[in-house]
Amino acid sequence: MADDDDYVYDEASGEWLPASQLAAAPAASQAKVVKDAAGNVLADGDSVILIKDLKVKGANQTLKQGTVIRSIRLTEDSEEIDCRHDSIKGLVLRTEFVKKR
C-alpha cells in the first residue's frame, strides 16, 4: 500500500478504506434487502396485508388486521415502506406489521 492512496470513509463498516479497495467491492453487497414480518423479501409494487390493528396518527382512524395495502414503495429506511390506502394518502408503515400477500 502506497502513502499516496486516497482513503474513503465506509459508513457500513465505520473504517477508512483505500479508494482502490472500496471500488473493488461488489455493488450487490451495498444493496439493501427489505423483509416483512415473516421474513419474505419485499419489492416496489408488492401488495401486503396488515398483521395487527394500527392506529394512524393524524387521521383519527384505525387500519384493521387483514387490510390489504397495494403498490408499496421502498424507502431509504429498510424498516419502513411508503404506501397508499383508499382513505389515507402518504402512509408510512413499519415492515414489522405487514406480511407479503
CATH number at residue 81: 2.30.30.40
Whether residues 21 and 41 fall in one domain? no
Q: 12: left (phi > 0), else alpha (psi -120 to 50), else beta?
A: alpha
Give pLDDT tens digits for 1-42: 455 668 888 777 778 888 777 666 555 455 689 999 999 999
With beta carbons less than 8 A apart as the criterion, state whether 8 and 16 touch: yes
Whether residues 76 and 92 fall in one domain? yes
Residue 86's domain comprises 34-100
**Reported pTM:** 0.67
Comparing CA positions, the residue from 91, 80, 86 lying closest to residue 42 is 80
Share of the chain above pLDDT 90, in %: 54
Domain count, the chain: 2
